[in-house]
């Protein structure tokens, strides 16, 4: 399960499990219900003491592979409520009262790729891993909130290519497209993320949360809309 790790001037939110490279029960760090519960709980701890910036990362092959497809197929009637939970997580990260940096250590697909875009600054490791939105290839739509997230965090050209083609971007390609801010060698990834986050530490606090809410107002409104029952029809 995800956990917080204090590293110098910053706090890391690790999306996997403590003590292992891969969580055997959830090796792709998918958005399982209990995983969502734990991430929200940990982010609540960060918000309660907004004194240090946050780095969002993981270990192993995956940053996160996004939605829990096993849950979706097993309980399709619960899909709208499940997607509302995902939207709520996005909104929480978008409005945290601390600077946030994503350090994409491996594959970031679908809802997991969008999760990284909810942070203030995005780094991605070179040599291994792709950032991708596979929805078009999987014959799945994007929710209104997800579309707004991608439209506001990416250029129109980058969003159009990523959403229409399901292209897989390596770190250098993602940086060139403006999807991530920096492509960083694996051995420097978390250190560079901590450096960027720490450089913004002075802005942490309730005022930063207000600024984020003001900047992201229309996006937050769309994320708060209930997902319609026919989202996949």
Note the pLDDT of residue 232.
Answer: 64
Residue 88 is part of a domain; what is its CATH number?
A: 3.90.226.10
Helix/strand/coil (H, E, C) string of the chain?
Answer: CCEEEEECCEEEEECCCCCCCCCCCCCCCCECHHHHHHHHHHHHHHHHCCCCCEEEECCCCEEECCECHHHHHHCHHHHHHHHHHHHHHHHHHHCCCCCEEEEECCEEECHHHHHHHCCCEEEEECCCCCEECCCCCCCCCCCHHHHHHHHHHCCHHHHHHHHHHCCEECHHHHHHCCCCCEEECHHHHHHHHHHHHHHCHHHCCHHHHHHHHHHCHHHHHHHHCCCCCCCCC
Residues 126-171 have pLDDT tens digits of: 999 999 999 999 999 999 999 999 999 999 999 999 999 999 999 9
- Flag whether 152 is in a domain: yes
Residues 204-214 have pLDDT tens digits of: 999 999 999 99
- Flag whether 232 is in a domain: no
Indicate yes or no: pTM above 0.85: yes
**Which domain covers residue 154, as residue numbers?**
3-224
Average pLDDT, the chain: 97
Note the pLDDT of residue 231.
Answer: 75
- Flag whether 216 is in a domain: yes
Note the pLDDT of residue 11.
Answer: 98
- Flag whether 94 is in a domain: yes
Q: What's the total number of domains in the chain?
A: 1
- Flag whether 65 is in a domain: yes
Residues 15-55 have pLDDT tens digits of: 999 999 999 999 999 999 999 999 999 999 999 999 999 99
């Amino acid at each position: 399960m995800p956990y917080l790790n204090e590293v110098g001037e910053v706090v890391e939110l690790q999306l996997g499990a403590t003590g292992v490279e891969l969580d055997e029960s959830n090796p792709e760090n998918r958005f399982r219900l209990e995983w969502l519960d734990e991430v929200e709980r940990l982010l609540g701890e960060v918000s309660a003491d907004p004194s240090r910036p946050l780095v969002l990362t993981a270990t192993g092959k995956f940053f996160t592979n996004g939605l829990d497809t096993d849950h979706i197929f097993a309980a399709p009637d619960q899909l709208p409520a499940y997607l509302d939970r995902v939207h709520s997580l996005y909104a929480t990260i978008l409005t945290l009262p601390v600077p946030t940096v994503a350090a994409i250590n491996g594959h970031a697909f679908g809802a997991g790729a969008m999760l990284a875009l909810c942070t203030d600054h995005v780094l991605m490791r070179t040599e291994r891993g792709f950032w991708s939105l596979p929805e078009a290839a999987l014959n799945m739509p994007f929710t209104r909130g997800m579309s707004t997230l991608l439209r506001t965090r990416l250029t129109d050209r980058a969003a159009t290519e990523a959403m229409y083609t399901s292209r897989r971007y390596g770190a250098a390609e993602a940086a060139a497209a403006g999807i991530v801010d920096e492509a960083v060698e694996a051995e420097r990834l978390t250190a560079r993320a901590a450096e960027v986050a720490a450089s913004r530490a002075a802005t942490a606090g309730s005022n930063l949360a207000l600024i984020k809410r003001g900047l992201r107002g229309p996006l937050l409104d769309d994320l708060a809309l209930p997902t319609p029952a026919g989202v996949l029809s």
